[in-house]
Structure 1
């Protein structure tokens, strides 16, 4: 072996040892999830398409997070998390999505006073939506996720599932109760286009409940999805109870859209359950939305599925979704998928 090559191998080995030690000392973790689905999709009013795509039950993502002991019980924390399309290898949920669109923050944690984080942060409304429905964060099969974040004609929430330029406070838990608040400075050139939210939650034994309020300002700048929209405020509540043989879920959301042509108010409700069966679970959920004001439209969606766990990290699933919007042909999606965590 040539001396130069030998020295290079020794240097590489030393560097690997140093980096490994640093990662352990700083408690840095690499993690993620890969989800692939094959089946048929038809959006309301659309045509059927046979697909093999990423993220039907959970959006595929990867991330790294870490913490450092600052003394006195304080910890510095950070997380960098990005979505990707497993079927193409492309970064993001769609073309043009930010690289770390899932989360990108740094903060400080106190066991007494709570947690403060700054950066791009997942909203409390999104967390409330995915926690209190059996299909969790599925943008393909969860009726309430579709109604809340893929709403038709202004029926859903605006502002994405994560907010840029945000500051968040999360309290510690007191007897199962906790509170949170978030403020986003919006566009760096126009402070008036800000967003804010506040909420509270309760978790004790089989019972979980939450309520979240959020307000989004646009300063007379039309939203891409609803022309003429200048702002939106919404309140959302969720509840779940686990009886062991069945877990029940329920949500309600009221949305008030401020639009140049007149306000649009939307009421949305959902109910669902999961039943453990044969190493997996039967899932079912229903959501209904109705809007009144500048436009009147209703949407009715239900889904059923079965999720089977091959191991602690890998599961396979089969699901069907029916989606009906006023004056549109029926949408239907069905197929099978596999999901693996790392």
Structure 2
């Protein structure tokens, strides 16, 4: 049935994202899990040159992880998560050269009847909402929504990474479809208590409807005092605020995604604003596979950049061949300002374990 097939792709995607949020608690256990993704294709970014590639991370960034829980009784548990990205094309750890070993997640926490608390390196609620509310999930190769959020060009995009070091987060239990997360990242620098990051997320999920609202504030990128160079096109950057509203609805014949985001950069020469809109669909084809399509548009205004536009769209086909494995093909068009058009396309294989 089309409705049943439409639910398979989100299930496959959420399997890879499940460890990004608070774990589901069991008696006492330790689990090994992960995802590996490789593709062959051609990559040309705006203003760049085309390159034939065989590399990892076409539809999802490859990673492996360990998580464990211990039941303390009375509705209380302790848990840990250690997750490491890796590059399937060469076996190196991390997303890029210089990335930390457990850059996806590295935390310990306690679960209670009234929520959970985690501490360590934590994936941000903004990232979780971004990947769950676009048809290309967490593709850093093909997803327009990901590119406009975390791979901005010029004055555009979120800084501060998708995971925060020295962070503490509280996640509420789900009540009548509502759940929330608050996260705080410490600067860990003596005499500079003002160096911090914080964010909040509110999610509503009921039947076919999923909605999420996010707010994020940062005044350093990776280490205190480094934000001034985080966006070269916004010199003297002092702080950044991000508001993101997104949602999806499963009509059975298709799943529709909508999103809006505002990024405000507070800089020495004045304020830069970037506004992004997204619309996407995931459509089942007969009894096998899904057609994916997504479009994102960003306009930035500010004293440093003037008016800068970026338009990105992508189409793809995803074919689940089992509960844990899928084949895919995708094409992405990316146009930024007056630069030459970016064109990326490829075919790949993704497997959850």
CA drift of 1:201 comes to 0.7
Partner residue in 2 for 1:268: 276
Instruction: Indicate conservation of the 8 Å contact 1:83/1:93, yes or no.
Output: yes
Map 1:245-260 → 2, pairs under 5 A: 245-260=253-268
1: distance between equivalents of 2:178 and 2:292? 28
2: distance between equivalents of 1:269 and 1:25? 43
User: Which deviates more, 90-99 or 253-262?
Assistant: 253-262
Instruction: Indicate conservation of the 8 Å contact 1:223/1:230, yes or no.
Output: no
Q: What is the CA deviation profile of residues 245-265 of structure 1, one whole-angstrom value per residue up to 9, with x for unaligned ones?
A: 100001100110011222110
Instruction: Indicate conservation of the 8 Å contact 1:181/1:198, yes or no.
Output: yes
SS at match of 1:87: coil
User: Which deviates more, 225-234 or 52-61?
Assistant: 225-234
Map 1:193-272 → 2, pairs under 5 A: 193-218=195-220, 221=226, 222-226=228-232, 227-272=235-280
Q: Does 1:134 pair with 2:135?
A: yes
SS at match of 1:27: strand
Partner residue in 2 for 1:8: none
TM-score by length of 1: 0.91
TM-score by length of 2: 0.88
Provide structure 1 residue ranges, at least 5 long, that are not aligned to the other structure: 1-23
Instruction: Indicate conservation of the 8 Å contact 1:56/1:140, yes or no.
Output: yes
2: distance between equivalents of 1:325 and 1:38? 25
Instruction: Indicate conservation of the 8 Å contact 2:159/2:230, yes or no.
Output: no
Partner residue in 2 for 1:320: 331
> Residues 191 and 56 (structure 1 numbering): CA distance in 2 closer, same or farther, change over 3 Å?
farther
Partner residue in 2 for 1:54: 56
SS at match of 1:137: coil
Partner residue in 1 for 2:157: 156
Higher RCO (CA 8 Å, separation ≥ 6 residues): 2
1: distance between equivalents of 2:56 and 2:194? 36
2: distance between equivalents of 1:326 and 1:26? 54
Partner residue in 2 for 1:341: 352
- Give the aligned CA root-mean-square deviation in angstroms: 1.3
1: distance between equivalents of 2:311 and 2:71? 49
Partner residue in 1 for 2:11: none
Tell which structure's C-alpha radius of gyration is larger: 1
SS at match of 2:129: helix
Partner residue in 2 for 1:102: 104
Provide structure 2 residue ranges, at least 5 long, that are not aligned to the other structure: 1-25
1: distance between equivalents of 2:120 and 2:103? 11
Partner residue in 2 for 1:31: 33
Partner residue in 1 for 2:4: none
2: distance between equivalents of 1:225 and 1:234? 15
1:298 to 309, 321, 336: 309
CA drift of 1:220 comes to 5.8
Instruction: Indicate conservation of the 8 Å contact 1:172/1:178, yes or no.
Output: yes
CA drift of 1:270 comes to 0.2
SS at match of 2:176: coil
2: distance between equivalents of 1:30 and 1:156? 33
1: distance between equivalents of 2:350 and 2:262? 33
SS at match of 2:156: coil
Q: What is the CA deviation profile of residues 29-56 of structure 1, one whole-angstrom value per residue up to 9, with x for unaligned ones?
A: 0000110010001000000100001111
SS at match of 1:130: helix
Instruction: Indicate conservation of the 8 Å contact 2:27/2:71, yes or no.
Output: no
1: distance between equivalents of 2:137 and 2:89? 22
